[in-house]
Amino acid sequence: MRICCIGAGYVGGPTMAMIADKCPHIRVDVVDLNADRIAAWNSDELPVYEPGLDELVREARDRNLFFSTAVKEAIHAADIIFVSVNTPTKSFGVGANKAADLRFVESVARTIAEVAESPKIIVEKSTIPVRTAEAIHSILAADSKGLRHQVLSNPEFLAEGTAVKDLNNPDRILIGGEQTEAGLAAVETLVSVYANWVPRDRILTTNLWSSELSKLVANAFLAQRISSINSISALCEKTGADVDEVARAIGSDSRIGPKFLKASVGFGGSCFQKDVLNLVYLCGHFGLPEVAAYWDQVIQMNDWQKRRFAERILRALFNTVTGKRIAVLGFAFKKDTNDTRESAAIYVCQDLLQERANLSIYDPKVGAAQICKDLAIQADNLNVEFATSAQQAAAGAYALLILTEWDEFRELDFEAIYKSMLKPAWIFDGRNVLDHARLREIGFKVYSIGKQAAHEVVI
C-alpha cells in the first residue's frame, strides 16, 4: 500500500509521520507545492514545532516517509490520498468572514482527476463544510476515464502542543463513507491502516455527512465552553467570586466535566474561530437564522474578552499607554506550539499599538518575522521590540502581560523583574498561570482574569 498526503502543514506532516512510524510496511509521501516548507521538513529544523515530532520524523524519514514537491507523481502512485490543504475563512464575496474557502480543495480534486489512472481512496483530512464530498465527487466524475473513486471523511481532532500524544493514543478515529458496498469497503481499507496501533473500538465509522459535520460541531462545543467560562469571569470580577473556584465547582459535576473551563484572554488557533464561523454560515445557508445567531455569540464573546483585557490594561495605566513600554510574554496561541493563527496576543498587541504603546515581545518559539506578519508591521517599527528573554522584555516596562501559558513563565525570577520595572509595576495574567499572592508580596499590582482583588482601585 502507498499513501500520499497533499498538504505538509500542521495536520498533514504530524499525521503522516505517525502513520509511517506505526506502519513501516506502508510508504507515505507528503507532498506540497511550497518548496520552502518541504525543504524544512527535510531539514533539522521542522516547520512545525510539536513536542516529540522531531524524533518521530527523524526515525521514519527516508525509510518509508518522504517529503517532496512531486505532487502529481505521488498522486499517480498512491492507493490512498489524504487531502490536508488549507481551508481558510473567505475574506471576500458571498460568505465573506464566515464561509470556508474551498479553492485549494477544489484544485486538489481537479489534479487527482487529471493524474489518476486507477481508482483512488480520497480522504478528506482538512476541516471542511458538510456536503463538501459532493463537490469532490462531482469533479472526479466529470473526467472521461470512468474511474470509480471513493471519497471518505477522516477529520483530525488534534490539539496543537499535544499532537504527537493525541496521534499516538487518540480518543477516537472517525471515518465516514458512503453507505454502499464500495464505500464501506473503502472505509474498511482506511480502518485497517489505523488498526495498526488504534484499538478497533476507538475507530468510529459513520456516513459521510455525519463525519464531515462532527468536526465542526466538536470544535464549536469546545469553543462554546471557553466563551461560557470567560463570560462568567467578567461576572466574577464584579462580584468577588473566583472564576477558578467556580470552574472547579461546576466541573466536578460529572454531567459537565472539568475540561475547557479555564478562563483566559480568549481562544485562538487555526480551528475554533474558523469552524464556528463556518457553522454559522452553514446554518444561515440552510435557513436556520436562530441557530446561526446562537453560535455567532460564541465568537462575539471571544472577541469581547480580548478587547476587555486590553481595555483593562489601559485603565490601570491611568488611561494612557502612549510611549509606555509594555512587556508581552507569549505570542503563540497556546504553549508548546509555534502556531500564531488567531492568537489572542495579536489582537491585544494591535489594540495597544493603536494606543501608541511601545511593546517588547518575547516568545520562546515564535520569531520576529512571524510576529511582524501577524501585526502587519515592518521589522523596523519603532513601537515594537523583539526581546530574547522575558527578563529583557520586562526591563523598564510599566506592565508585563502573560498572553501564552508557556511553562517557563511560571519559573521566572519575579523579584529581579520587579526591580527592573517602573513602579507601580503591573502584571496582567491573561492565562491565570502565576502565583498571584506571591507576586503581590513582591510588590506587583496584579490583574488576573475572573479574580480581580477587590482592594485594587483602577481609574
Catalytic annotation, pick one of 236, 271, 283, 349 = 271
- For this structure, is 271 an active site residue? yes
Q: Write out the three cell numbers for 271.
A: 480551528
**Bridge partners of residue 152, in order along the sequence:** 123
Shortest CA distance to 155 belongs to which of 109, 206, 116, 95?
Answer: 206
Q: How many CB atoms lie within 10 A of CB 172?
A: 12
Residue 447: alpha-carbon gap to chain centroid: 26
Residues in the chain: 459
CA atoms of 241 and 450, how far apart (whole Å):
8
DSSP H/E element including 295: helix 289-316
CA atoms of 256 and 152, how far apart (whole Å):
32
Angle at 155 between CA 341 and CA 157, to 5 degrees: 60
Task: Kindly state the DSSP code that residue 61 receives in the 8-state scheme.
Answer: B
**Nearby residues of 400 by Cβ (< 8 Å), 6 or more positions away:** 326, 327, 329, 393, 394, 417, 421, 425, 426, 427, 428
Instruction: Judge residue 437's burial from the number of C-beta atoms within 10 Å of its C-beta, 0-12 exposed, 13-18 middle, 19 or more buried.
Output: exposed
E strands in 378-455: 384-386, 399-402, 426-429, 445-448
Instruction: Judge residue 45's burial from the number of C-beta atoms within 10 Å of its C-beta, 0-12 exposed, 13-18 middle, 19 or more buried.
Output: exposed
Whether the link from the prior residue into 51 is cis, omega within 30° of 0, is no
Shortest CA distance to 273 belongs to which of 201, 334, 329, 222?
Answer: 222
Q: Which residues are catalytic?
A: 271
